[in-house]
Amino acid sequence: MSPQLTKYAKRRELYDRREFRFGQIYIIDDELINLPASDRIGKRVTHHDRWVVVVSNNDENIQMLAPTVTVAPLSHRTDLKREFDLEIFKDSDCVKDDSLIILKAMQPVCKVDLRDHQGEISNDKKEELLALIQLYYGLSGDE
């Protein structure tokens, strides 16, 4: 799978004045998201859109000159939950279907490619996500 990337003539075209916050949900073209295991074995069904949640939590998220932000893709396949996936719910987390945040597939994307801000996950899920990120990177102090 080789996505058709928009090519820009100048770096300035990548500048984005929006402020991206941890836990916000956006839509991006699905072809711009890498799901390595599914992509490599040819089992991935590519959709037009992919919902993602912002997982980076630093000043570059609001810095116009920083062209990327880190996101984790969502999946509506909650029956495939694995370690480091976080379940979120349509009743409380601004998603149209109960979903999984696939933390192991977090990746940088160009801010200008994010569209259609959908809201953000609940504060409780933000705390769970932060704890899961710490655990994923071995920063929790647990051994």
One digit per residue, the tens of pLDDT, for the chain of length 143 reads: 344 677 888 888 899 999 999 999 999 999 899 887 666 666 667 778 999 999 999 999 999 999 999 999 999 999 989 999 999 999 999 999 999 999 999 999 999 999 999 999 999 999 999 999 999 999 876 55
Q: What is the DSSP string of 109-120?
A: EEGGG-EEEEEE
- The domain spans of the chain are 14-136
What CA–CA distance (Å, rounded) separates 78 from 92?
16
pLDDT for the residue 44: 67
% of residues, the chain, pLDDT over 70: 89
pLDDT for the residue 81: 94
Hey, what CATH class is 14-136 in? mainly beta
Instruction: Give SS3 for 36.
Output: helix
